[in-house]
Each structure stands twice: as C-alpha cells, then as structure tokens.
Amino acid sequence: MKLQHYRDKLLYSVQGWGPYIEVFLITALVIGLSYLFNRNDPFCIHTSFPWVWIAPVLVALRYGTLPAIFVIIVMVGAFFLFDPKVAITTSEYRYATLGGLLLTILCGEFNNAWLGAMKRFTQLNGYIQKRLDGLNRAFYLLRISHDRLEQSLISKPVTLRNTLVELKNLLVDAGGECTQKIAEQFLHMLGQYCNMEQAGLYLYQDGKFIKDPIAHVGSKRSELVVDDPMVKECMQSGSGINYYAIDQLHQKDRESRYLATVLLRTCDNEICGLLVIEDLAFWSLTQEVLRTLGIISAYFADDIWAVKKMAKFLKVYPDCPPQFVFELKKTQHLYKDFGVESALSAFVILPGARQKNIITQLQHMRRGMDIDWHYQQKQRGILFTLMPFSSPVAVEGYRNRFQRYLKSEFGIDLEESKEVYLRNMQIFSGEPLQVMQQLMEYVDAV
C-alpha cells in the first residue's frame, strides 16, 4: 500500500508501470550516452548544445515537474560518482545544474497547466454529455408515455411520467433507499408496459449483487445466478448499453437461464441494481421493448442515486425535483475543482391575478442548459433557475433579457415593480442546502 501511495504521488496523472519504466530508460540512456561519447564533459558544458538536458525536459513535458527533478537528481548523482571533485568545485557545473533545473521546472509548470486545462475541458464536456443523455431519456419516456396514453386512455388513464413521479416521491420519503414496496411498484409498472411474466430485481451493494431479489414478478422467487453468462456480459459491456438479450451473447454456444438482463446504471455509471427477465411475452421480445426497459430502468436508477445523495436537501424542500439538486451539486463541483462559474436566480412573483401566467411565460423562456423549479411559498410564487456556466456578465445579460420581455408583455419594470423582482447569486462550494438557504435569506430580506 505504501509503495502504491508513493508511486501515485510521483506520477499522479498516469496509470500502470509503463511510464516508470519509460522514465528509467530515458535516464539510463542519457547517462550512458553521455559517458560513452563525452566522458570528459558529461554535462555538455563546453559543447555547442547541452544535449544531456533533453532527458529531464522531455520527462517534465510528458509527466510533470516531480518526475523530471527525480531524473536530474539521478543524473547529478551519477556524474558526481564519476568525478566528485569536478562536481563539487567547478562553478560551471553548478551553473549548468541550476540552469537545467530552472528550464525543467518551467517545462513542468507548462505540463501542469496544460493537464489542468485538459481536465477542465474534459469535465465540462462530460457534464454536457450527461445533460444530453438525461434529456434523451426524458424525451424518450415522454414519447412512450404519450403512446401508451393514446392506447389506454379509458382503461388505464395513468401516464408513465405520473408513475415515475410517484416512485420519486416514495424514494424521497424513504431517504433514497429502494425499499421492497418501491421495487414492487417499479416492477409492476414495467410489467404493464413490457408484459413481463417472470422477472426479478436485485440490488447492488458494497460492490456485489444481493442474490435474493428485493421484488419479483411471477410465481417463483429465485436467487440471482451471478456466474450466468448473460449477467457477466451485461456487467462487462463497455458500449454504454445497459441491457442484453439472449441473442446478443458474443459466444453463441454459451447458455443462459435468462431471456434478458437490464442494468440499473446512472448517468455517472453508478450501478444500483439488476433486472433479470426469465419469461416474457413472445411478441414483447423486441429491440424497442428492450430499449424501453433500459431507458426506464436508467431513469429510475438516476432517481435513486440523486435522492440518496440529496436526502438532506429534499427533507427541507420535498417539492424540489431531485434533478435540480443533482445539477446544483455538479455545478458546485465544477466551481470547486475548476473554477467554472454558475449562477442561481430566483424570480419572486407576489400574489395576484397574473401570477400563474407570469411564471408560465418565464418557464417557457429559459435557456436550453438551464433547469428551473417552481416553488410555491405560501402565496408567493418563486421560480428558481439554475444557470450552468454563467458568469456575472452572463447573469446580467439574463436579467436584461427578462427585463425587456416583462416590460413589453406585462408592463412590468424589474427596477421599480412591487409585483415581480429578481434575485441572483453565484454558486459557491459547499452543500446545496447552504446555497439555497443563502438565496432564500436574500429573497426574504426584501
């Protein structure tokens, strides 16, 4: 464990032993060539170009300052052993070492700045990709819900979105724990939409699946076969697909007791559980049904993960959508680690005949990346809007845009109106509840 710790400290940006071997070979090669071709001047002080310093500069540009300094120490140590008197008494060697060290540190700082910028852009792109995946799931669920609503408007007048909202509320009440009641209701919903006849839901805890199902559909209750090829294929899939059917096994001669498996995996690749299907209506084993199962399961897994992480916030504000808190936490992470600014605004609409109309129009005008939450506080209507990647300048532009709109549509001036007012605040690191409480204090102070 100690060896692993110091290894990670030395080259924190790489994985495996390959880079360490590379650094060792570069150092040994430079020292060997210097002794072989320039034994009387190993530091290349009197040559037209100090070739020996290519080694630490190369390592600094590739792996950072600390590994490059390590290379310099090894080089100086090797040359000192070769001729200790010259290494100690000759000022030229001292100046050469100092100059090479400064050059190496500059290259290492460039490497650190470049890696920091690349990591920042990677995090931003990852955040945007997760938001796009979430929107894709939401729109797909909306389409399924509307299709089913058209087919069963009289017999089953309950939409898929309403059912998921009910499950989310149950998760909030349970503190983010997937209880047996919630799991049974989830499977009952899937059974209605996907015609499952025999299936089980297994939770994932402490890095492994619980073999006993927390809920099941059908007459028999069976333990999970962890070594089943279908389960292994679903767990090892690197394609981003969280469902597998029997005809998708890579080796056709492998037998599985399941027809399909669906992994409950969040947008952050956190695994919550596994849905295994042993029996399904013949006409339901299609790519469309499997994709529907995968999308609904991933949406449900996101709710479990988000509610569990934000249980403290949701206890104070139970009406807040978990996705809003989840995105608020991610923007705090971006600010803390990379200095990416985001903002949180609150439109406060006082009681009146136009309150609902104003809130509806404001919701329609939000930007694509923004997330809003309508919070009814007694008679006041508050529309919170989370604006990722928004500096104070962007917030000012946001305020001016709504100022013009409210002026033209409702004759409201934000600077003078007593009916509507806007409060903005930049996101800071900490807990989401602290950010919301500070903004509410700002709102209540008026």
* Minimum mean pLDDT range among 86-95, 157-166, 223-232: 86-95
Domain CATH for 220: 3.30.450.40
**Do 181 and 289 belong to one domain?**
yes
Are residues 82 and 177 part of one domain?
no
pLDDT band with cut points at 50, 70 and 90 for residue 247? low
Q: How far apart are CA 375 and CA 355, in angstroms?
A: 13
pLDDT at 88: 47
CATH number of the domain to which 380 belongs: 3.30.70.2880
Q: Per the structure block, which two tokens stand in for 348?
A: 């406060």
Tokens at 142, concatenated: 């909306």
- On whether both 292 and 338 belong to a single domain, the answer is no
Query: What range does the domain containing 197 cover?
Result: 158-309
Residue 406: pLDDT above 80? yes
**Domain-terminating residue out of 71, 91, 119:** 119
Tell me: do 264 and 366 sit in the same domain: no
| 20 and 111 belong to one structural domain | yes
Report if residue 124 sits inside a domain.
Answer: no
Say which residue, 193 or 379, is predicted with more confidence. Answer: 379
- Output the CA–CA distances (angstroms, integers) from residue 376 to 185, 317, 348, 359, 379, in the order listed: 29, 11, 10, 11, 7
Looking at the fold, whether 318 and 291 belong to one and the same domain comes out as: no
Residue 191 or 244, more confident: 191
Is the residue at 237 inside a domain?
A: yes
pLDDT band per the 50, 70, 90 thresholds, residue 214 = very high
Supply the DSSP string of 426-444, one letter for each residue. Answer: E--SS-HHHHHHHHHHHHH
Residue 414 lies in a domain: yes
Compute the CA torsion angle 170, 176, 177, 183 (nearest 10 deg): 40
Q: Is residue 220 pLDDT above 70, yes or no?
A: yes
Last residue of a domain, one of 59, 92, 119: 119
| pLDDT class of 86 with cuts at 50, 70, 90 | low
Q: Are residues 254 and 297 both part of a single domain?
A: yes
Specify the pLDDT at position 254.
60
Mean pLDDT of 363-381: 84
pLDDT of residue 343: 92
In the predicted model, what is the mean pLDDT of the chain? 78
Which residue carries 């609150």 as its tokens? 346
Residue 169 lies in a domain: yes
Q: Which residues sit opposite 263 in a β-bridge?
A: 274
- Whether 183 and 283 map to the same domain: the answer is yes
Where a domain ends, among 309, 338, 372? 309
In the three-class reduction of DSSP (H, G, I as helix; E, B as strand; rest coil), residue 237 is classed as coil
pLDDT given for residue 384 in this prediction: 93
Task: Give me the mean pLDDT over the 171-182 stretch.
Answer: 84
Kindly state whether residues 287 and 321 are assigned to the same domain.
no
Nearest to 425 by CA among 414, 436, 417, 415: 436
* 375/430 same-domain check: yes
Each residue's pLDDT tens digit, 124-174: 777 777 777 777 777 777 776 666 655 554 444 445 667 777 787 788 778
Q: Which range, 262-271, 313-322, 390-399, has the best average confidence (pLDDT)?
A: 390-399
Q: Are 264 and 273 in contact (CB under 8 A)?
A: yes
In a domain, 133, yes or no: no
Does residue 36 lie in a domain region? yes
**Are 185 and 298 found together in one domain?**
yes
Task: Label residue 385 by pLDDT band (50, 70, 90).
Answer: very high
- In this structure, are 169 and 303 located in the same domain? yes
pLDDT confidence of residue 153: 43
On whether residue 131 sits in a domain, the answer given is no
The tens digit of pLDDT for each residue in 269-311 reads 788 888 888 887 766 667 777 777 777 887 788 788 777 777 7
* Tens digit of each residue's pLDDT (9 = 90 or more) over 308-359: 777 788 888 888 887 788 788 888 877 887 777 899 999 998 888 888 888 8
The pTM for the full model equals 0.55
Angstrom distances, CA of residue 193 to CA of 4, 149, 296, 409? 50, 11, 10, 43
Name the band, by pLDDT with cuts 50, 70 and 90, for residue 176.
confident
Q: Is residue 236 part of a domain?
A: yes
Binned at pLDDT 50, 70 and 90, residue 1 comes out as very low
Banded pLDDT at 76 (limits 50, 70, 90): confident
Counting residues of the chain whose pLDDT is more than 70, the rounded percentage is 81
Q: How many domains does the chain have?
A: 3
The count of C-alpha atoms lying within 13 angstroms of the C-alpha of 410, restricted to the half-sphere facing its C-beta, is 22
